[in-house]
Chains A and B, each alone.
Chain A
Amino acid sequence: MTLLFDLALVAWLIALAGHIAMTREDRNAIVAFIAFGLLLGLAWVRLSALDVALTEVAIGGGVTGVLLLSAEAHLRKPLAQDSAQDRPHDGRRRLGNVGTIAAALASAAVTAGLALAVLALPTPAPTLAPVAAAALDTTGLGNPVTAVLLAYRALDTLLEKVVLLLALVGVWSLAPDRTWGGAPSLAPAVAPEPLVYLARVLPPIGVVIAVYMFWVGADAPGGTFQAGTVLAAMWLIVMLAGLRQPPDTAHRVLRLLLVGGPALFLAVGFLGFFIADGFLSYPEPIAKPLILGIEAALTLSIAATLAMLVAGPAQKAPEP
């Protein structure tokens, strides 16, 4: 019975991926991509990787979907104005069938390579899982995934957060000089009433869920990224409904919030030279409080970064 479900899930995923690649309308493809993220989340659940499933649904389905939708809306605006030429189709034609075939071949090669790599693995596959589980006690954590993210492979996580910040710098630098440091604009002139209602009712619940996800992440599936995404979504709903305006991108508190998480992570990392074995290592007795502190700061930073990524570059002149 579960085999039937798994097969259906896989068939569904492949069909949806084909649809995303083939569909002509950009917005259709994006909506299908969001559905794909949710289905992929289900697939991760079937593989018992709940942490990955949560992240996939939150990031792959949620944030990426919103980012793509807003990018599509931005692309649509200037195109609608100059209607003399249908630019995207021109561009597509210029790339031509050769480009499409080359892309298809390259994708097929990657898929075949991955399949070969998976099939070539010895059975049982090489794994560090027992080692990771055995060392769990030294971190004071109960969730091995969190231990990998914040203790064993903390460097990867740190760099990931820095990459997020770099992405935000990239988005912000699209702002023209006269609005540099100003606020992005999100809310339409008149926000629809149901959205305003949702923006009043949902955030209290969402904030509690985010805090819960962060807290439970130490011992069960959950953690900073998922919690940060939920927080970002709540802030975005409030801004989209026009209940609160987005802050100036030059605002001191916002900037501190953005760099706070990675900066604290880095500071504790360097502290490791003096109080533990080296960069990014924690002294055993206070490992858990240190990790939780870093996670708390990271959650806030991720929430602010993701929300500002969606809000986009500054569109209003900064307030003096």
Chain B
Amino acid sequence: MTILAHVFTLLAVTAGALLFLAGTIGLLRFPDTLSRLHALSKADNLGLALIVLGLLPQAASLTDGLKLILIWLLAQLSAATASQLIAGSLNRRKSGP
């Protein structure tokens, strides 16, 4: 059972790390701000989610697991807000004076 948990952790965290890598490449290579934001949000949401999911079986206690999930939720909230703010200021600059 523990081996199964370890394998799950390895797979999920690797997948998460790959998503972060893909997001970073997108951030560096994509041509404009909106698509760069798009690349970043995938890494932030799904990548972090996979890493947290993978680490859950390794958590020492139930509270530790809940803390991990809370971290993911908070990161989601701040990443979503930051993306919206950046996109909004871009929009205003385009249409503004």
Contacts and interface: CB of A to CB of B under 8 A. Distances in A.
A192 B85 CA distance: 7
Contacts of A198: 77-78, 81
A157 B77 CA distance: 35
Tell me if A's interface is mostly helix, strand, loop or mixed.
helix
Interface string B55-95: 00000000000000000001001101100110011000000
B88 A192 contact: yes
Contacts of B80: 194
B81 A195 contact: yes
A215 to B, nearest CB: 14
B85 A195 contact: yes
A186 to B, nearest CB: 16
Contact of A197 (B74, B81, B89): B81
Majority SS at the chain B contact face? helix
Contact of B84 (A194, A201, A202, A205): A194
A201 B77 contact: yes
Question: Looking at chain B, what size class is its interface with the partner chain?
Answer: under 10
Nearest to A205: B74
A195 B82 CA distance: 8
B81 A194 contact: yes
B7 to A, nearest CB: 18
Interface string A31-69: 000000000000000000000000000000000000000
A197 to B, nearest CB: 7
Contacts of A205: 74
A202 B74 CA distance: 8
A197 B84 CA distance: 11
A194 B78 CA distance: 10
A194 B88 contact: yes
Nearest to A194: B84
Interface in A185-203: 192-195, 197-198, 201-202
Nearest to B84: A194
Contacts of A197: 81
A153 B84 CA distance: 45
B20 to A, nearest CB: 15
Contacts of B78: 198
A202 B79 CA distance: 13
A33 to B, nearest CB: 18
B71 to A, nearest CB: 11
B67 to A, nearest CB: 10
Contacts of B89: 192
Contacts of B88: 192-194
Contacts of A202: 77
Contacts of B77: 198, 201-202
Contacts of A195: 81, 85
A204 B37 CA distance: 28
A311 B85 CA distance: 20
A144 B29 CA distance: 47
A178 B15 CA distance: 60
A314 B10 CA distance: 54
A237 to B, nearest CB: 10
A83 to B, nearest CB: 16
Interface string A187-227: 00000111101100110010000000000000000000000
Interface of B: 74, 77-78, 80-81, 84-85, 88-89
7 closest A-B pairs by beta carbon, nearest first, are A194-B84, A198-B81, A194-B81, A192-B88, A194-B85, A192-B85, A195-B85
11 contacts: A192-B88, A192-B89, A193-B84, A193-B88, A194-B80, A195-B85, A198-B77, A198-B78, A198-B81, A201-B77, A202-B77
Interface of A: 192-195, 197-198, 201-202, 205
Given A194-B88, A195-B81, A198-B78, 17 more contacts: A192-B84, A192-B85, A192-B88, A192-B89, A193-B84, A193-B88, A194-B80, A194-B81, A194-B84, A194-B85, A195-B85, A197-B81, A198-B77, A198-B81, A201-B77, A202-B77, A205-B74
